Structure 1
Amino acid sequence: MRHGIYWIICTCTALVIAVLALRYVTGFWLLALVFSLHIHVALLAMAGAALALFIRRGRTAAMLLVLSGALFVHGIWMKYEITPAQRVAGEQDIAVRIISFNLLASNFQNGDRIADMLLASGADAAVLMEAGPIRRHLNALSAAYPHRVGCDTMRALCDLVILSKHPIRSARFESLSDLRADRFVLAELDVQGQQLHVAGVHLTKPYYDDYHWLELRDLSRHIADIGNRLVLAGDFNADSLALDMRYFLRRNAMTAAGWEPATWPVRAGRFGIAIDHIYLRDGLIPLGVTRLPDNLGSNHFGLVAEFAIPRQGT
């Protein structure tokens, strides 16, 4: 009996390891969610191998534990690879705080709480997705964020929105695919006389054929000519561990604003995955990223990133 259970667990564990290891040979879109869950799947495989060893000591289970452990270590290494080194802003540098939050389009009952959070946050700008819940609070929000892109400014649709306390010199919307229009917005902010580009994006889920990869490709094209002072925030519907996400970050020389906290699913808390991101390009000083303590009725947690702009021309 013990012998049979041992081999059943080893077989299941080997299959899990084989599926996760496919990331090294293919980027097939049906496996995108598995690749985003790389660390979680590796832990599951480690648990299976450890259980097999507990039931019966054997060479096969030991080998599976080593392989799954190597996959886990690689997952952690990939996270550290996009996490910038800790830096300190200078006295003349300009501190900036950015909020990124998918509000959930149907979350109207919490619109007032979301507006209160934004007003109390002290953020310089907010990139909001599915922003309908704050439409009726725009007048109140204009006291702290007098400048806006989206939600009756440039676009009537209250979906992807940038709120800013700083003047917006220029802005534009782009569509990344034929599934949904205007899911990319780029605004040039004047922050105390310094230029800062803030971009917002809401990507299609990765299991919609190749759309996620194709949208990242078009996103790269839209930000290719922007200088180093670029903040890209939004709901990417994929962890930075996904293959197309890693390629996108390398191609565009971007890093996370800090160690990325989990944002989805809400019920999983800190044990979820990071599918919402705030990325920075060289030229900005990353100071860290944290998760909003309350999801405020959304199916995502929001993020707050802090960074500094090196002052030029002074």
Structure 2
Amino acid sequence: MLRTIALETRGAVFALGLLLTCLIALGHLDWQDPLIMILGNIRVHITALLVFIALALMVAGARIRGVLLLGGAVFVLALVYRDLAPSSRLMATAEPDLKIIAFNMLGSNTENGPSIADYLLQSHADLVLLNESGPVVPFLEALAARYPFQLGCGGEGEGKCGDVLMLSRLDLKEPRITRLTGASGHQTVIARVEIDGAPLNVIATQLLRPYFGEQQIGEFNALRRLLDGLEGKTLVAGDFNAAAWFGPFSDLLDATGIKRAAFEPGTWPVELGDLGASIDHVLVSGNAAFTAISAMPDHFGSNHRGLVAEIALTPERQ
């Protein structure tokens, strides 16, 4: 009786492993179907669960089935590494030229606005790129003490602030407020700063969620065109609503040559910490390099963890 139960349990676990394998395979497809896109964003997490199931089967005596599932999981992770390696930049040992904060605050998180504003004032950041900016809009005047140059208000009517803001201690030259596409629910802000005489394009953006399907793909294409139209080094940060291994995101990196940090903190959901999906990113082009990147010490009631990045614009001169 116990042997029969054990065999049936192992069979059920193996069937679950096969189901996960099918979901992972679907996540690799280049469809514009929202379900496929969601699976594409979590396929690494599904693969991690598949590894656990494979090891459990091997311990339980179903070695062949366990090895088959483990082999499939290793193959998937190898594909992810292949896709990410060319666009991943290891930390440099140079002195940083710039400190960045990128944070999706959650628009309804107004009760934590004062705490977020205090954190930003004490952070000593050079640039703050904010998504769902509502919580700090009432404190923009106070924030001007540290960040006198602000971009994101006034683009949709006199005095009105959009949902993406750029706060800077550096003069923002050639400022623009736009939208990636007509379907976009979020604005994108663009400016240029100069650091020791060297220009740097800065873009703060937020893309639609993957369940918008082809509309999100359209935003990735529009962001690619925007990057192609800029000259010189560029920094892009924001909530991309896309994990690093998600096809359209990795395609954007490949097409534009812009780089991500090789090891990004998980940003969503906050409950998973570094094990969560890295859907918020700081990206740099040219020979600019990350010297540090980490999650903010507190998420201040948001459903995203913010990012703190330090960047060396010309690391080879150090």
TM-score (norm 2): 0.89
Question: What corresponds to 1:255 in structure 2?
Answer: 259
Relative distance call for 1:257 and 1:61 in structure 2 (3 A) is: closer
Match of residue 14, structure 2, among 5, 10, 15:
10
CA-CA distance at 1:39 after TM superposition: 2.0
Relative distance call for 1:174 and 1:3 in structure 2 (3 A) is: same
Q: Which amino acid aligns with 1:303?
A: L
CA-CA distance at 1:257 after TM superposition: 3.5
Question: What corresponds to 2:100 in structure 1?
Answer: 98
Residue segments in structure 1 that go unaligned for 5+ positions in a row: none
SS, match of residue 211 in structure 2: coil
Assess if the C-alpha contact under 8 Å between 2:295 and 2:306 holds in 1.
Answer: yes
Distance in 2 (CA, whole Å) between partners of 1:132 and 1:158 is 8
Question: What corresponds to 1:242 in structure 2?
Answer: 246
Match of residue 109, structure 1, among 108, 111, 121:
111
Relative distance call for 1:207 and 1:134 in structure 2 (3 A) is: same
Alignment of 1:218-229 (within 5 A): 218-229=222-233
Assess if the C-alpha contact under 8 Å between 2:58 and 2:67 holds in 1.
Answer: yes
Match of residue 119, structure 1, among 121, 126, 131:
121
SS, match of residue 161 in structure 1: strand
Alignment of 1:1-314 (within 5 A): 1=4, 2-29=6-33, 30-76=35-81, 78-89=83-94, 95-152=97-154, 156-310=160-314
Distance in 1 (CA, whole Å) between partners of 2:121 and 2:20 is 46
Assess if the C-alpha contact under 8 Å between 1:129 and 1:159 holds in 2.
Answer: yes
Distance in 1 (CA, whole Å) between partners of 2:28 and 2:290 is 30
Assess if the C-alpha contact under 8 Å between 2:187 and 2:206 holds in 1.
Answer: yes
Assess if the C-alpha contact under 8 Å between 2:184 and 2:207 holds in 1.
Answer: no
Distance in 2 (CA, whole Å) between partners of 1:163 and 1:153 is 15
CA-CA distance at 1:242 after TM superposition: 0.4
Relative distance call for 1:76 and 1:310 in structure 2 (3 A) is: closer
Assess if the C-alpha contact under 8 Å between 1:101 and 1:301 holds in 2.
Answer: yes
SS, match of residue 185 in structure 1: strand
Of 251-260 and 21-30, more deviation after overlay is shown by 21-30
TM-score (norm 1): 0.91
Assess if the C-alpha contact under 8 Å between 2:186 and 2:207 holds in 1.
Answer: no
SS, match of residue 150 in structure 1: strand
CA-CA distance at 1:133 after TM superposition: 1.0
Q: Which amino acid aligns with 2:274?
A: R
CA-CA distance at 1:140 after TM superposition: 1.1
Distance in 2 (CA, whole Å) between partners of 1:294 and 1:62 is 41
Q: Which amino acid aligns with 1:123?
A: A
Distance in 2 (CA, whole Å) between partners of 1:306 and 1:154 is 32
Relative distance call for 1:89 and 1:259 in structure 2 (3 A) is: same
Distance in 1 (CA, whole Å) between partners of 2:225 and 2:262 is 25
Q: Which amino acid aligns with 1:277?
A: H
Query: What value does the CA root-mean-square deviation take over the aligned residues?
Result: 2.1
Over the matched positions of the two proteins, sequence identity in percent amounts to 28
CA-CA distance at 1:244 after TM superposition: 0.6
SS, match of residue 237 in structure 1: coil
